[in-house]
Amino acid sequence: MVETPPPVAYSTGTMGSWARAFLVLAWLVPRPVAAEPAPSLQGTFPRAASRNGFDALQEGWSSFRDHWLLLDIFVVLLLALALGALIAYHPSTRRRISNIDQLERPKTLLMYAVVAAVVALIVQVQPAMAFVIFGIGGLLRFRTDVGDAKDTGRVILVTVVGLCCGLKVYVVALPATAIGWILIYLLEQDVTGIIRVSGVNEQSMLEATRAHRALITQAGYEIIREQTKFVKREFSFMVKASPNLDRAKLQADFDTLAPEVRGAVDWERL
């Protein structure tokens, strides 16, 4: 028969010592600090779907009272524009410009930088809008004929500003519209194009090039790149000028040149 060992007797002093040691350890263990929520714009815009009447009209405008929020939005948009300009006007890409599309590409990059910043601000308010914006962007880019890439950027910017108005996030819509308007105004101060002259005698190519170059610079055009093709008996000037310059006057000056250096002038995007 196996005998059961007698139970171990714990004295009150031993139990008290263990309890005191456990309490000391529990006090020494560092308590977890609750993580503070990341700052977000989502809570700054009032959304009250149950409002009606005059209260519904006021919804969204109260955010303009938060001057720090308004300043933060302007900083976000301007910083995105500045960083986009650093990439758009990189010196290595400017040196390899060979056509008008490459010359106009920085304007497109700047427009898309502003569009991306506005989209990020919208998604902070309504994360589900990311899928809506993605679908609208694909529809506009591949199913709508909006012209050049920079025009597509303008269309998308107008679309996201409309989304801001629909969400009553006017504090984003108004700064985005202001910066977009100023950006388009500055980028469209100059027009770019190509003046191509053909049909000149091969023996008079150099003299004809100098004569046309002199008239172009006198008219106020800035020559960005010049190309001569002796085999095709033509030369071209990639130029940049103000939209107010008189193209008809320059054409009249071309017509006054001597017949041996005069050629057929073709204007592209001017």
In the chain, residues under CATH classification 3.30.70.1110 are 191-268
The arrangement of strands across the sheet holding 222-229 comes to: 222-229, 234-241, 191-198, 264-268
Total-model pTM: 0.67
pLDDT at residue 39 in the model: 46
CA distance 138 to 152: 11
pLDDT in tens, 62-84: 888 888 989 999 999 999 999 99
Q: 44: closest CA among 175, 180, 170?
A: 170
DSSP state of 139: H
pLDDT in tens, 229-251: 877 888 999 998 887 888 888 99
Q: 224: closest CA among 232, 216, 150, 88?
A: 216
Q: Which fold has domain 191-268?
A: Alpha-Beta Plaits (3.30.70)
